Amino acid sequence: MLAFPGFTGTTKRLVLANLVVFFLVLIGGRVPVLAQFLGLLPLVPASVVFHGYVWQLVTYAFVHGGLLEILFNMLSLWFIGSYLESEKGSRWLLEIFFLSVVGGAVIGTALSFTGVLRLSPVEVTSGASSGIFGMLAAFAVFFGDQQFMLFPFPIGIKAKYLVIVYLLIAVASLMGGASPLTYAVYLSGALIGYLYAKMAPRRGFGFSASEQFFGWRNNYYKWKRRRAARKFEVYMKKHDRTVRFDGDGRYIEPDEKRDPNDRKWMN
């Protein structure tokens, strides 16, 4: 995949949102009030649990600590997000990104209180990699045989093997002394993305839920129409008239012709 994908839609909005927060962080040191606000955005498990800073389960994904980090993450988000959005749709992309972000943060927060792998609830983490890892896992599920080029080397590799390489690097970083919370959150995001790709309806949970809601609503209206039809049938029988409706409450035209001037049934 050598061509640059289109920079549009939900992918574009996610990238721009990350860039806006990044530049706010850059200038935040000169504005104390802004710096204090931005300091509440990264994920700190102890703050989430003990202080109720639940927004951190989402906002941490839009905070990046350095130029190389945001450059790599935004390029990954652009390439993977654009491909998934073109194949699965904007709503689907939003779902998997934010479910991976929130799910990764929730699992990482829970693990931080166990103390395993040197995890600590007072550790701080940030970055969009949990959402990107979730998207990568889904990409491997749906498009695992898609070929990628290992830039700058002219070597092709299938997407599923590339994702495995990323995951192994994250596992090695987790076990090798790097920030344990950060990689625990990233790997948890990959797990959520994989489960979403395997279990979610074809067009996402949101679309499926909206279809179910409108189905319930339509069934309710049909029930009201059938009830109104039955009441009208009873009313007409009281006036020695017979009308018929089908199972959905739609009026059935009588076989015989009615005198258009006959209005006795209205009295």
**Tokens standing for residue 90:** 């904007």
| Contact status, residue 249 vs residue 225, Cβ threshold 8 Å | yes
CB atoms within 10 A of CB 226: 16
Give the mean model confidence (pLDDT) for residues 116-120. 89
Distance between alpha carbon 73 and the CA centroid of its chain, in Å? 18
Q: How far apart are CA 37 and CA 32, in angstroms?
A: 9
Angle of helix 90-112 relative to helix 9-28, nearest 10 degrees, comes to: 50
Instruction: State pLDDT tens for residues 1-26.
Output: 446 788 889 999 999 999 999 999 88
pLDDT-derived band at 208, boundaries 50, 70, 90: low
Residue 263 has pLDDT above 70, yes or no: no
Q: ∠ CA(16), CA(46), CA(117), 5° rounding?
A: 90
* Confidence at residue 205, expressed as pLDDT on a 0 to 100 scale: 65
| Contact status, residue 75 vs residue 185, Cβ threshold 8 Å | no
The number of residues in the chain equals 267
In sequence order, the 6+-apart residues with CB closer than 8 A to the CB of 158 are 144, 145, 146, 147, 148
Residue with tokens 């941490």: 60
Whole-number average pLDDT of the chain: 85
Residue with tokens 């990959």: 190
| Contact status, residue 95 vs residue 204, Cβ threshold 8 Å | yes
pLDDT-derived band at 217, boundaries 50, 70, 90: confident
Question: Quick one: 204 exposed, middle or buried, by C-beta within 10 A (0-12, 13-18, 19+)?
Answer: buried
* Confidence at residue 82, expressed as pLDDT on a 0 to 100 scale: 94
Domains of the chain and any CATH numbers: 9-200 (1.20.1540.10), 209-266 (no CATH)
Sign of the alpha-carbon dihedral angle for 138, 142, 145, 149: negative
| Contact status, residue 16 vs residue 28, Cβ threshold 8 Å | no
The structure's pTM equals: 0.78
* Confidence at residue 207, expressed as pLDDT on a 0 to 100 scale: 60
Residue 249 DSSP label: S
CB atoms within 10 A of CB 99: 20
Q: Are strands 251-252 and 156-158 parallel, antiparallel or unpaired?
A: unpaired
- Among residues 190, 180, 205, the alpha carbon closest in space to that of 141 is found at 190
Q: How far apart are CA 230 and CA 222, in angstroms?
A: 12
CB atoms within 10 A of CB 90: 17
Q: How far apart are CA 217 and CA 232, in angstroms?
A: 23
Instruction: State pLDDT tens for residues 64-92.
Output: 988 999 999 999 999 999 999 999 999 99
